Amino acid sequence: MPRSEGLRADAARNRTALLRAVEELLAHHHPAQISMDLVATTAGVGKGTVFHRFGSRDGLMLALVQERAHDLGVAIADGPPPLGPGAPARARLLAFLSAIVDLVSRNKGLLAALGTTIATPADQGPREEHPVYRAWHGHIAALAGQERPDLDADMLAHVLLASVHSEPVLGVLASGAGDRLDRTLRDLVTALIPDDGR
């Protein structure tokens, strides 16, 4: 293997190890307690590697949020139904909302550290202009519109996404009660889009 390929493989392994280390640390520590030194030690790499790859602690945490959002995007595009293609729009919408609640619930410490649920710090402009938000909003609106063309699917998508960056709801998620949000979102969607038996 050429040296450049070996370096690329090492860099990819280091990146994966660092992101996994952050996720593991966030499961047991408040974000403010997680230093670059601690991340490096947990990942088994030098501190310089962390700075080289991500620039800062916030950069590292932002990369983890974006990676999780990317994973969800891949599942939507190519994964098995009902989250992926092949299921009715209603079933896909319910599965997607559950996946968002799961993502936010599992990464609440990370999201709190960034001050957002959609990976966009306040100084980077409105949340609705962020690519992740636009992708999630577009997916929800498209699925809802397929099932109920008479609905304002654009506004419905905003309302549903607003629930996962509401301070009171984030407080509920922080207490470990993500199932309450999941059930409530399902109740809202099923009330608006009843099962037609497909």
Task: Give, for all 198 residues of the chain, the pLDDT tens digit.
Answer: 444 455 578 888 989 899 889 888 887 777 778 899 999 999 999 989 888 888 888 788 878 888 888 899 999 999 999 999 999 999 999 999 999 988 887 776 666 555 544 444 444 555 566 788 889 999 999 999 999 999 999 999 999 998 887 878 877 877 788 899 999 999 999 999 998 754
Q: For the chain, what is the total number of helices (H) and then of strands (E)? A: 10, 0
Say how far apart CA 193 and CA 187 lie, in whole Å.
10
Assign residue 133 the CATH number of its domain: 1.10.357
Q: Both 100 and 182 in a single domain?
A: yes
Q: Both 41 and 101 in a single domain?
A: no
Q: Both 86 and 113 in a single domain?
A: yes
Q: Both 51 and 71 in a single domain?
A: no
Q: Both 84 and 49 in a single domain?
A: no
Structure tokens given for 183 = 């059930």
Residue 110 structural domain: 59-198
Nearest partner of 147 among 96, 75, 104, 183, judged by Cα: 96
Assign residue 7 the CATH number of its domain: 1.10.10.60
Q: Both 51 and 76 in a single domain?
A: no
Say how far apart CA 25 and CA 41 lie, in whole Å.
11
Q: Both 50 and 64 in a single domain?
A: no
Regarding pTM above 0.85, the answer is no
Nearest partner of 188 among 94, 91, 82, judged by Cα: 94
Given 55, 75, 92, the domain boundary residue is: 55
